[in-house]
Amino acid sequence: MTVESVSPEATPRAPSELREPPVAGGGLPLLGHGLKLARDPLAFMAQLRDHGDVVRLRLGPKTVYAVTTPDLTGALALSGDFKIGGALWESLEGLLGKEGVATANGPLHRRQRRTIQPAFRLDAIPAYGPIMEEEAHALVDRWKGGEPLDCTSEAFRVAVRIAARCLLRGDYMDERAERLCAALATVFRGMYRRMVIPLGPLYRLPLPPNREFNRALADLHLLIDEIVAERRASGQMPDDLLTALLEAEDENGDPIGEQEIHDQVIAIVTPGSETVASTIMWLLHVLAQHPEQADKVCAEVESVTGGRPVAFEDVRALRHTNNVILEAMRLRPAVWILTRRAVIDTSLGGYRIPAGADIIYSPYAIQRDEKSYERNLEFDPDRWLPERAKDVPKYAMTPFSVGNRKCPSDHFSMAQLTLVTAALAARYRFEQVPGSDDSTRIGITLRPNDLRLRPVPRDTP
Ligand code: HEM
ipTM of this complex:
0.99
Tell me how far the alpha carbon of residue 406 lies from the centroid of ligand 1, in angstroms. Answer: 7
Tell me how far the alpha carbon of residue 40 lies from the centroid of ligand 1, in angstroms. Answer: 24
Atom of ligand 1 nearest to the CA of 398: 9
Cβ distance 278 to 447 under 8 Å?
yes
Tell me how far the alpha carbon of residue 260 lies from the centroid of ligand 1, in angstroms. Answer: 19
Looking at residue 318, what is its pLDDT?
Answer: 98
Cβ of 436 closer than 6 Å to ligand 1, yes or no, is: no
Cβ of 321 closer than 6 Å to ligand 1, yes or no, is: no
Cβ of 445 closer than 6 Å to ligand 1, yes or no, is: no
Looking at residue 195, what is its pLDDT?
Answer: 67
Looking at residue 25, what is its pLDDT?
Answer: 85
Tell me how far the alpha carbon of residue 205 lies from the centroid of ligand 1, in angstroms. Answer: 33
List of residues 6+ apart from 223 with CB closer than 8 A: 176, 179, 180, 183
Cβ of 96 closer than 6 Å to ligand 1, yes or no, is: no
Atom of ligand 1 nearest to the CA of 404: 38
Cβ distance 71 to 394 under 8 Å?
yes
Looking at residue 7, what is its pLDDT?
Answer: 41
Tell me how far the alpha carbon of residue 272 lies from the centroid of ligand 1, in angstroms. Answer: 7
Question: Atom 20 of ligand 1 has which residue's CA nearest to it?
Answer: 276
Atom of ligand 1 nearest to the CA of 163: 28
DSSP reduced 3-state for 340: strand
Looking at residue 200, what is its pLDDT?
Answer: 73
Per-residue pLDDT 10s for the chain (461 aa) are 333 333 445 556 677 789 999 998 888 877 788 888 888 999 999 999 999 999 999 887 889 999 999 999 999 999 999 998 876 677 677 677 778 888 889 999 999 999 999 999 999 999 999 999 999 999 999 887 678 999 999 999 999 999 999 998 877 777 788 888 889 888 888 887 776 666 778 888 889 989 999 999 999 999 999 999 989 998 888 888 999 999 999 888 999 999 999 999 998 888 889 999 999 999 999 999 999 999 999 999 999 999 999 999 999 999 999 999 999 999 999 999 999 999 999 999 999 999 999 999 999 999 999 999 999 999 999 999 999 999 999 999 999 999 999 999 999 999 999 999 999 999 999 999 999 999 999 988 999 999 999 999 997 54
Question: Atom 29 of ligand 1 has which residue's CA nearest to it?
Answer: 407
Atom of ligand 1 nearest to the CA of 113: 38
* Residue whose CB lies within 8 A of the most ligand 1 atoms, among 184, 275, 324, 338, for a mutation test: 275
- Give the strands of the sheet with 452-457, arranged side by side: 149-150, 452-457, 428-432
Beta bridge partners of 447: 441
Cβ of 335 closer than 6 Å to ligand 1, yes or no, is: yes
Cβ distance 427 to 262 under 8 Å?
no
What secondary structure letter does DSSP report for 268?
H
Burial of 31 (0-12, 13-18, 19+ CB in 10 A): middle
pTM of the model: 0.93
First to last CA, the chain: 40
Cβ of 310 closer than 6 Å to ligand 1, yes or no, is: no
Q: Any idea what the Cα angle at residue 433 is, between residues 457 and 160, rounded to 5°?
A: 70
Question: Residue type for 162, please?
Answer: I
CA distances from 274 to 31, 270, 360, 413 (A): 31, 7, 21, 12
Which of 224, 246, 130 has the alpha carbon at shortest distance from 172? 224
Looking at residue 2, what is its pLDDT?
Answer: 33
Tell me how far the alpha carbon of residue 344 lies from the centroid of ligand 1, in angstroms. Answer: 25
Known binding residue 166? Answer is no
Domains of the chain: 15-457 (1.10.630.10)
- DSSP assignment of 271-313: HHHHHHHHHHHHHHHHHHH-HHHHHHHHHHHHHHHTTSPP-GG
Which of 214, 194, 189, 446 has the alpha carbon at shortest distance from 338? 446
Angle between helix axes 173-196 and 208-234 (nearest 10 degrees) is 140
Tell me how far the alpha carbon of residue 241 lies from the centroid of ligand 1, in angstroms. Answer: 15
